[in-house]
Amino acid sequence: MFRLIATFLGAALAAGPVVACEGRPDALGTARELAVGPAQFPRVGRIHFDRTLPLAPKEVVLTFDDGPMPPSTLRVLDALRQECVRATFFLIGRNAATHPEIVRRIRAEGHTVAHHSHSHPMLSRLPPDKAEADIDRGIAAVEAALGSKGEPAPFFRFPFFASSPALLERLEKRGYAVFGADLWASDWNLMTPDSQLDMVMRRLRKTEGGIVLMHDTRAQTAAMIPALLRALKREGFRIVHAVPAGRADMARRPHARLTF
C-alpha cells in the first residue's frame, strides 16, 4: 500500500503543475488535483480526526472558511488568481445568499465551493433537528447562489469543529467528506499580517505541509495571502487542489434532509 501511494505521488509530482501561470514562470501555480470522496476520505485533518489526505511532504491544501464577505474575500481571490493557485472555500449559507456574485466568481476561477452551515452555530450543541435544518439551509443557499454556474462539492466543515457522532455518520451516509485541518492560521486572533505569516510558515515547516485553515473574512488574512504564496514558492511548498470524487456512488440529493 505504501509503495503504491509513493508511486502515485511520485508520478503526480513529476507530471508538472495542473495550473501554471502563462508568462509567469515565477508564480506558485497549482501542482496537482486530489479527488476526495467520503468512501476513501470520510473525515480528514489530523487536528480533529485520526487521518488526513494523502499528501507528500511539502504539499499544501489551502482552505478558507466563513465567506464570502467583501472586500476581504475579493482580495484573497485576487491574490490566488495572481499566482494561479486554487483553494477550497467553505461558505456560510447566509453569506452566500447575500453575495451570490462572489460565490459564482469563486467557482468561475476554478476553486472548490464547499459548505460551512447556514448561520455558523455550534452544531453539536443544537438538538438534532435544528442542526439538520441549519446544515440543509446552508447547502441550499450555496446551491442557489451558484445556480447554473456549477455544483458545490460535497465537502463540509463544522463551525468551531463542533461535530457529533450522529452528524458525522449522517453526513458520511449522505455522501459528504468532512474536513478538519492539519494546521491553522489562528486568524480569529488579532495580529499583524507579518506576524500571522511568520506563524503560519513556522507551523508549515513543522508539519511539512497539510490542510491549512484560514478565514477569507479576515482583513489581516487577506493582506497576508500574497506574501504567504510567495513564501510557499520560495521554500519549495506545492499546492494541491482538493476536488470532489465522482458522484455515481453517492446517496446525496439536492436539498435532501438528513434523517436522525
Domains of the chain: 34-244 (3.20.20.370)
pLDDT value at residue 15: 41
Alpha carbons 120 and 62: distance in angstroms, whole number: 20
Quick check: 195 and 228 in contact, CB under 8 A?
Answer: no
67 touches 92 (CB < 8 A): yes
> What pLDDT was estimated at residue 133?
96
User: What pLDDT shows up at residue 110?
Assistant: 96
Q: Which residues of 200-218 are buried (b: 16+ CB within 10 A; e: fewer)?
A: bbebbeebebbbbbbbbbb
10-residue stretch averages of pLDDT, the chain, 260 residues long:
41 54 91 96 96 98 98 98 98 98 98 98 96 97 94 97 96 96 97 98 98 98 98 98 71 36
pLDDT of residue 248: 36
The per-residue pLDDT for 105 is: 98
Cα-based distances in Å from 245 to 150, 159, 200, 210 = 15, 23, 29, 19
Catalytic status, residue 65: yes
Choosing from 65, 134, 187, 216, the catalytic residue is: 65
Which listed residue (99, 111, 120, 215) is catalytic? 215
Beta-strand pair 238-244/183-184: unpaired
Q: How far is CA 180 from CA 49, 129, 155, 172, in A?
A: 7, 23, 11, 14
